[in-house]
Amino acid sequence: MRRTGSALGVVFAVFALLATAPAWAASDDLDFYQTADREEVGTEDTFRLTVVVVDAPANAQVKLPESGDFSILSSSRSSQRSISLSGGGPAVIQDVTRHVLVMQATRAGRLKIPPSQITVRGKTYRTQPVELTVRAGRVGGAPSPGQAGRGGGRQPDPFSSIQSQMQQMEEAFGDMMEPDRPTIPRGDSDLFLRASLDRDNVYVGEQVTLSLYIYSRVDLSSVDAVTMPKLEGFWTEEVESPTQLSGEQRVVDGIPYRAYLLRRRAIFPVKSGTLSITPAEADITTGFLFAGHRVHRVSNALKVKVKPLPPGGPEDMPNAHVGNWRLSMDVSQTRVELGQPVTVKVSLEGVGNVKNVTPPALKGPAALKIYDPTTTDKVSPQRHRVQGRRVMEYLVMPQRTGSFTLPALEFTYFDPRARKYEVARTDPVTITVEAGAGGASSIASGAPQASSDQANEQKNVLTAGGLRPVRYQARFEAPGVPVWKRGFFVPTVLAPLGLLLGVALIGGVRGRLALRSEAGRGRQQAKAARKRLADAEKLQSSGDVGAFYGEVEKALHGFLEARLGMPVVGLTREVLAEKLTAGGADAERRAKVLFVLEACDFGRYGGGGDPAERQKVMDAAAAAMEGWA
Amino acid sequence: MSGYYTPEEAQDIFLKANEAYANEDYAAAKEGYEKLLANGQGGPDVLYNLGTTHLAQGDLGRAVLALEQARKEGGQAPDLEANLSVARARQVDKVVGATAEDAFLPRVAAATDGPVVAWTFLGTWVAAFVLVLLWRLLGRGRRTAVGVLAVLLFAVAVPSGLLVATHAYVGATVHEAVVLAPTLVARELPQPGARSIFEVHAGLKVRLLEETGRFVRIRLPNGLEGWAEREGVAEI
């Protein structure tokens, strides 16, 4: 039900209605048109189509446009009755019914919204179709005031100035704010609870602002309890929570209301899909003192269409890395003494989910010991957008002297306004560590453990471990082949064996050949004779004198036969001397031979027992054989 | 790509690869070392640097492979052993249980240095035979010292010859490899759908026992065996 003015106005209206009822019922002058709030939209934008019927009878059937090119996200209906009294004539009553459709195009192109229809007493009226230019993606921009055609004559809009103000705000805030256009609930038109979103089609991690208002046409005393919606699938951050009710004037479908903000929250969807926001509830006390009474109100439910982040970003990028960010790294000092700490602040500043964003971790060489950071957040929402700074403060303790570089940091995020991934970077920072002037001895005395720790901090700590460096010199060579697989190995191993066998073979052959000749036989006999003489030497010391001399004589005879090539046993001394001369023996050798033979004859028959004599015979026999090839 | 680099060109490539390593441009460093290896101008030093680059880059499998190849070609070295220790410390797998007893010959081969043994054998063998020949040529009285020396040389040559034969046998029959795949499944049978027995990860040294199709039978140091895909391992 709708209140339209004061009690006096109601009385006038009733009279006027009764006076004009017949004419009204018979009137065919029907004003019926539809308008869109934009001429150009994107496929990701929503727009409003308003279908207006003026002075339609109660049983009129309105058929709203249907098209496959557009989807209707929500629809609402409102009606307004105005009574004008002028010039003493009958009161003019006008009923205006508005159907507001929130629509979205399903494809790009020049599309046409088909006409709406209304059937009154069997007669069908149609509006003009509305043509829109639809582009892919999001065009944004504020709705243009009431263009996009209309079927009948345009009605003057008494709230155009307010709409203009809203439009200016929207332009100022860009895509940051969309004006709420509440629909008045039928049962609670004087006091209702309204939940609204600044946008309902976002990316994962992109902020949506949820506002909860009380719209009231009566005086409020207090709000006793507020139950906020269940926000499953969202990470929330309080943006505004007034402690006192402060109303502002708003006009809803031509009806002025006081709007009181109860809560405003930034909500960040953490998953894609269509996420539901349950209705909020509030207990409100109206009136003053004893005249007041308490009512319970439930707001409207909401839905948010959440798109996944587009491909092209890092695989493991958290959902919170959405927004617009700047990364910086501040170092307290770049030249420091060994043992003195350095503070490094890694700051991430910008618009987005500040408390959930994760700045890149600081890494550095092993010579810089980096302790776990402490994190501080500073959130300062502006124009209902969560923004601020997250700072990770690291304590870096140099462990060695030298120059060490903290590498550049990178932070990849998705910018929903630019619809692309961006990378915020810092520059690398070089820290020079110098030896301390005082050394460990300069540390003030305190607890022994603390002193020890401090002393360690000032030492140039050279810890084993880590990778050994690459070699700076190389010997370039083909892949190694084992020695035993190389070509020379087997021949070298077999060659000595072959050589030895060859020598033995040759020796054997030569021996056999030598046995077949006279000279060879001679040499064999001479060799046997020398061997026999060696045996005789063994008998020299024994008592058997005869055997000794006999053996020496046999050895000498054998040698002479070998050298002269003829038997010598039985030859007279003269003949033997001649043969020796003929065989090439000189006089001295001949004399020794004869001396030995004479001595042997003498010895075999009893003489020559003196050892010295036997030695002399032995030496003479050896001398006679020696050197006679 | 030419098939051969002059020593100056090879040195230039090596130094540039080292410079890239120092600048943490591991991809360029790796490319330089691999270029040398592809042209047959590698060697233990280049392999060591390649393994160290892989290790710095976090490619554990190829790091262990290159470092083990460097050790096989150039023997042990302090820096090589240190980086191998780092690689082992980073390995996911911890082989638990009694170490499987190697056969006698592989243990003997592992305990002795192949090239040293081979050169010792060759030297003593040839020298011993030279002395035998000399012994034959010398007369009585002068042969003793030569004979004793020859016997001593034979006493060294024969065992070292047996060791060379051991190395040759082990080299021909024992194949060691390194797991390259981040995760390699060892199955009960050489079939893709066969039951999985265990998984090994990059950098683990295994022994290849036999090969059939695209599967090889691997054995872990503790004796655990299974069939794994051939492309997941590389022979040292």
Domains, chain A, in order of start with CATH, read 1-156 (2.60.40), 171-308 (2.60.40), 324-437 (2.60.40.10), 518-625 (1.20.120)
Picking from A35, A33, A29, the residue whose alpha carbon sits closest to that of residue A55 is A29
A505 contacts in chain B (CB < 8 Å): none
Q: Which of A52-61, A146-155, A492-501 has the lowest mean pLDDT?
A: A146-155
Tell me: pLDDT of A451 over 50.
no
The answer for B 173-232 residues in CB contact with A (under 8 A) is none
A500 contacts in chain B (CB < 8 Å): 129, 132-133
Cβ-contact A484, B167 below 8 angstroms: yes
> Where does the pLDDT of residue A162 fall: very low under 50, low under 70, confident under 90, or very high at 90 and above?
very low
Of A468, A470, A477, the CB nearest to B18: A470
Cβ-contact A64, A99 below 8 angstroms: yes
Residue from A481, A483, A490 whose CB has the most chain B CBs within 10 Å, to mutate: A483
Tell me: pLDDT of A323 over 70.
yes
A471 contacts in chain B (CB < 8 Å): 45, 48-49, 79
Query: Rounded mean pLDDT of chain A?
Result: 79
Please count the residue pairs, one from chain A and one from chain B, whose beta carbons lie less than 8 angstroms apart: 95
Cα A603 to chain center, whole Å?
116
Give the model confidence (pLDDT) of A95-116 as tens digits: 778 888 888 888 888 898 999 9
Residue that wins the pLDDT comparison between A526 and B210: B210
Give the model confidence (pLDDT) of A477-536 as tens digits: 887 778 888 888 889 988 888 888 888 888 888 777 766 666 666 677 777 777 788 777
Q: What is the mean pLDDT of residues B36-63?
A: 92
Give the model confidence (pLDDT) of B137-193 as tens digits: 776 677 888 889 999 999 999 999 999 999 998 888 888 999 999 989 999 999 888
Of A466, A470, A500, the CB nearest to B129: A500
The CA–CA distances, whole Å, from B13 to B5, B16, B19, B62 equal 9, 5, 10, 21
ipTM tops the 0.90 cut: no
Contacts of B139 (CB under 8 A, 6+ apart): none
* pLDDT reported for residue A244: 80
Of B45, B82, B121, the CB nearest to A471: B45
Helix (H, G, I), strand (E, B) or coil at A65: coil
The A-side interface with B (CB below 8 A) comprises 465-480, 482-485, 489, 492-493, 495-497, 499-500, 503
CA–CA dist B53, B44 (Å, integer): 14
Cβ-contact A414, A313 below 8 angstroms: yes
Cβ-contact A50, A96 below 8 angstroms: no
* pLDDT reported for residue A549: 85
Cα B142 to chain center, whole Å?
48
Tell me: pLDDT of B7 over 90.
no
Q: Which of A59-68, A361-370, A532-541, B207-216 has the lowest mean pLDDT?
A: A532-541
The CA–CA distances, whole Å, from A200 to A30, A38, A175, A275, A277 equal 36, 18, 12, 10, 11
- Which residue in chain A has the smallest CA separation from B113? A482
Structure tokens at B31: 């490319």
Residue from A404, A463, A481, A484 whose CB has the most chain B CBs within 10 Å, to mutate: A484
* pLDDT reported for residue A577: 87
Cα A521 to chain center, whole Å?
98
Number of Cα atoms under 13 Å in the Cβ half of residue B78: 4
Indicate the DSSP class of residue A244: S
* pLDDT reported for residue A148: 40
* pLDDT reported for residue A145: 42
The answer for B 106-145 residues in CB contact with A (under 8 A) is 114-115, 118-119, 121-122, 125-126, 128-130, 132-133, 136
- Which residue in chain B has the smallest CA separation from A467? B83
Indicate the DSSP class of residue A425: E
How many residues in total does chain B contain? 236
